[in-house]
Amino acid sequence: MAVSQNWLLRPFQERSTQIFLGVLFAALVVVTFLHLFMPQDSALHVSAYTVTLLGKYLCYALLAVAVDLVWGYLGILSLGHGAFFALGGYAMGMYLMRQIGDRGTYGDPILPDFMVFLNWGELPWYWLGFDMAWFAFIMVLLAPGILALVFGFLAFRSRVTGVYLSIITQALTFALMLAFFRNEMGFGGNNGLTDFRDILGFNLRTDATRLGLFIATGIALAIGYVICRAIVASKLGRVSIACRDAEARTRFLGYRVERVQLFVFVVSAMLAGVAGALYVPQVGIINPSEFSPLFSIEIVVWVALGGRATLYGAVIGAILVNYAKTVFTGVMPDAWLFMLGGLFVLVTVFLPKGIAGLLKKRQKQPQTQEATA
Amino acid sequence: MSMLEQLTHRDRVFDFLAPVASPVDVRHGPILYMEGVNVSFDGFKAINNLNLTVDDGELRCIIGPNGAGKTTMMDIITGKTRPDTGSVWFGSRHNLLTKSEPDIASLGIGRKFQKPTVFEALTVFENLELAMAADKRILPTLTAIMKPEYRDRINEVLETIGLQQLRDRLAGILSHGQKQWLEIGMLLMQKPRLLLVDEPVAGMTEQEMERTAELLTSLAGKQSVVVVEHDMGFVRSIARHVTVLHQGSVLAEGTMDQVSNDPEVIKVYLGEEA
């Protein structure tokens, strides 16, 4: 088979990517159709509430793909990816706050409500520029990217790996959570940012905007997936696996392991940031609880359940677990955490390769035949 | 600080500006030069005033009892361990003590580990691909393409190490001896000037050993090879020049016959086996 020369086009030749993109786009089209053209009282009608809920799942799926890139392929178990997700979310939230303008409770044309409430005279310098969409969208990438760059540079240069790195990432997100809880930080304290009105001129409370956000999230997931797949399918992806399995050996082959780790980590953080930015307008709020260590651990559970180092496994895991969460927290709110823990234990014991491992096993037979033919 | 000091020497090219991959200068003979090297771990002297030179194109065997410092010596040459004192030069231009592991690898020093270390989740072919001498920075690696000449080169090495049949199998399924060969193949892909080979025949059958001996002797001349080995029969079959290490320093040096007749050597090492 002719392999494409262009690293970004390579994923499209892989069967798993074709299937993934096909399923994703089919889902987007079906949901859109059922939402728009089925009568309200039909059993097949998808409500705006469900569309937004699905959009939220897709955000989580993109976040899970980002975590799988660093955990599955690079062997870095990040227990702090929620921090990058939340930073992207806050960047988007700041843009949405500035869009409110004088429609807030206090009617101040520039200051968000919480600043008026705190008697702040003017906008802090780091809020400047967030009234412009392009600036905010760049910050969605840059804020998590720069944090990952600085954190990763220090950690990987000192060759911190394994459990120790996981603990530091956990501490990172915990520290950020404490910081963002403080009112003086200027991010709305424990209430966070909310009461959003519109995005790019579209009213956030209309069904059409919600559908648009859902579709945008689906496209972002597709792009993020393709970027990750392209990295994984490139020689750099194989070097990542080499770093994961035998770091010292990779170094003696002449690769700068810490730079490989840094590059992949930063790409992953930026994808997590994008996921956060799409999450915030759909759920309508961003507050410091997104930084909570528990959330970051949950992400890892999604990936483990779905299956590590497959990318699509992360998507399956994120969607299934969150769907189960929606259902069971509705039925028995107290039992959910026990169920999640039980599920995690069961999968680790009986399905060490996750749900994706089941799919792979079924595929294996024809694949080996192909290889020998 | 040393970077600032350099600024005061106007006649010099700054180290950080000099191209890393400048050619290895062997006009003066040795390709590897170690002098007065000392390393201690928590008070234990692993390397004790070690002096060693290896000439360009030479095949050198290093033997010595356990704990003689053989592996530590390789760690020093490849930049994994920094000595407390002493100097280590690659040719007469590159001071290895100032360089990182990847830099040393790209200068042309390849290393085979004592325990065969291959990337088990990758195929045999991919293992060799990663080892191939190429631009190993991030973006060139990301956009790297498999050119026909690379493929030819990998196939050539596959043939040398006799693993053509297994090229698309995962390296994890290889037998111990095959892993050893794959790792030697990875060394060859790097096109190193100096090969450091730690116990290449451990776990190999008699036949495999013979082929390894053949391969290593055929490399010498074009490349310099340093072999650390326990198996005396194997050393005898390939060695022209043998160095005996004991307690972190050189005990004796010479041909296999000279060394094995040295009373000191017999006492510390060969005597145990006889």
pLDDT in tens, B74-83: 999 999 999 9
Q: Is the pLDDT of residue A154 over 90?
A: yes
Mean pLDDT of B44-72: 89
pLDDT confidence band for A323 (50 / 70 / 90): very high
Of A7, A236, A252, the CB nearest to B105: A252
pLDDT confidence band for A288 (50 / 70 / 90): very high
**Which among B136, B166, B189 is the top mutation candidate for probing chain A, defined by the most A β-carbons within 10 Å of its own β-carbon?**
B136
pLDDT confidence band for A372 (50 / 70 / 90): very low
Q: Which of B76, B77, B66, B85 is nearest to B245 (CA)?
A: B66
Q: Is the pLDDT of residue B260 over 90?
A: no
Q: Is the pLDDT of residue A371 over 70?
A: no
Q: Is the pLDDT of residue B117 over 70?
A: yes
How far is the C-alpha of B42 from the C-alpha of B83, rounded, in Å? Answer: 13
Q: Is the pLDDT of residue B175 over 80?
A: yes
Question: What pLDDT is stored for residue B269 in this prediction?
Answer: 67
B144 to A241: CB separation less than 8 angstroms, yes or no: no
CA distance B262 to chain A (A): 36
- Nearest residue in chain A measured CA to CA from B189: A253
CA distance A346 to chain B (A): 25
Please give the order of strands across the beta sheet that includes B94-95: B44-55, B30-41, B85-90, B94-95
Residue owning tokens 């794959």: B182
pLDDT digits (tens, 9 = 90+) for A188-245: 999 999 999 999 999 999 999 999 999 999 999 999 999 999 999 999 999 999 999 9
Partnered with residue B147 across adjacent β-strands are none
First and final CA of chain B: distance in angstroms?
Answer: 54
User: pLDDT above 90 covers what percent of chain A?
Assistant: 78
Measured torsion, CA atoms of residues B128, B132, B135, B141, in degrees rounded to the nearest 10: -10
CA distance A359 to chain B (A): 19
Mean pLDDT of B125-129: 95
Q: Is the pLDDT of residue A284 over 90?
A: yes
Average pLDDT, chain A: 92
Q: Is the pLDDT of residue B2 over 70?
A: no
Residues written for chain B:
274
**Which among A239, A245, A252 is the top mutation candidate for probing chain B, defined by the most B β-carbons within 10 Å of its own β-carbon?**
A252
Interface of A with B in 6-35 (CB under 8 A): 7
How far is the C-alpha of A153 from the C-alpha of B222, rounded, in Å? Answer: 40
Residue owning tokens 């003017």: A122
Q: Is the pLDDT of residue A366 over 60?
A: no
Q: Which of A13-27, A159-173, B19-33, B208-222 has the lowest mean pLDDT?
A: B19-33
pLDDT confidence band for A6 (50 / 70 / 90): confident
Mean pLDDT of B98-112: 90
Q: C-alpha angle B55/B60/B63, rounded to 5°?
A: 140
Q: Where are the domains of chain B?
A: 26-273
Q: Is the pLDDT of residue A1 over 50?
A: no
- Nearest residue in chain B measured CA to CA from A261: B138
Q: Is the pLDDT of residue B4 over 70?
A: no
Q: Is the pLDDT of residue B240 over 90?
A: no
A253 to B186: CB separation less than 8 angstroms, yes or no: yes
Decide which of 3.50.50.60, 1.10.3720.10, 3.40.50.300, 3.10.105.10 is the CATH code for B26-273: 3.40.50.300
A241 to B110: CB separation less than 8 angstroms, yes or no: no
**Pick the residue with more confidence: A34 or B204?**
A34
Q: Is the pLDDT of residue B228 over 50?
A: yes
The DSSP call for residue A123 is: -
**Pick the residue with more confidence: A4 or B154?**
B154
**Which among B117, B142, B179, B180 is the top mutation candidate for probing chain A, defined by the most A β-carbons within 10 Å of its own β-carbon?**
B142
Mean pLDDT of A130-141: 96
pLDDT confidence band for A173 (50 / 70 / 90): very high
Report chain B residues touching chain A, CB-CB < 8 A.
Answer: 78, 80, 100-102, 105-106, 110-111, 113, 117-122, 126, 129-131, 136-138, 141-146, 168, 186, 190
pLDDT digits (tens, 9 = 90+) for A230-250: 999 999 999 999 999 999 899
**Which among A241, A253, A264, A360 is the top mutation candidate for probing chain B, defined by the most B β-carbons within 10 Å of its own β-carbon?**
A253
ipTM above 0.95, yes or no: no
Size of interface A-B (CB pairs under 8 A): 83
Which residues 6+ apart lie within 8 Å of A367 measured at CB?
none
How many other C-beta atoms can be found within 10 angstroms of the C-beta atom of residue B62? 27
User: pLDDT above 70 covers what percent of chain A?
Assistant: 95
pLDDT digits (tens, 9 = 90+) for A352-365: 888 888 887 765 54
Strand residues in B56-202 grouped as ranges (E): 59-63, 85-90, 94-95, 109-112, 194-198
CA distance B269 to chain A (A): 31
How far is the C-alpha of B269 from the C-alpha of B164, rounded, in Å? Answer: 40
A254 to B119: CB separation less than 8 angstroms, yes or no: no
Q: Is the pLDDT of residue B138 over 80?
A: yes
Question: What pLDDT is stored for residue A369 in this prediction?
Answer: 38
How far is the C-alpha of B205 from the C-alpha of B209, rounded, in Å? Answer: 6
Question: What pLDDT is stored for residue A370 in this prediction?
Answer: 37
Asked if the C-beta of A238 comes within 8 angstroms of chain B's C-beta atoms, the answer is yes
Q: Which of A321-325, B47-51, B162-166, B266-270 has the lowest mean pLDDT?
A: B266-270
Asked if the C-beta of A159 comes within 8 angstroms of chain B's C-beta atoms, the answer is no
> How is A9-58 classified by DSSP, letter by letter?
TGGGGSHHHHHHHHHHHHHHHHHHHHHHHS-TTSTTPPPHHHHHHHHHHH
Tell me the angle at which helices A48-72 and A312-331 cross, rounded to the nearest 10 degrees.
Answer: 130
Mean pLDDT of A148-165: 94
B130 to A253: CB separation less than 8 angstroms, yes or no: yes
pLDDT confidence band for B206 (50 / 70 / 90): confident
Q: Is the pLDDT of residue B14 over 60?
A: no
Q: Is the pLDDT of residue A118 over 70?
A: yes
CA distance B114 to chain A (A): 12
Average pLDDT, chain B: 85
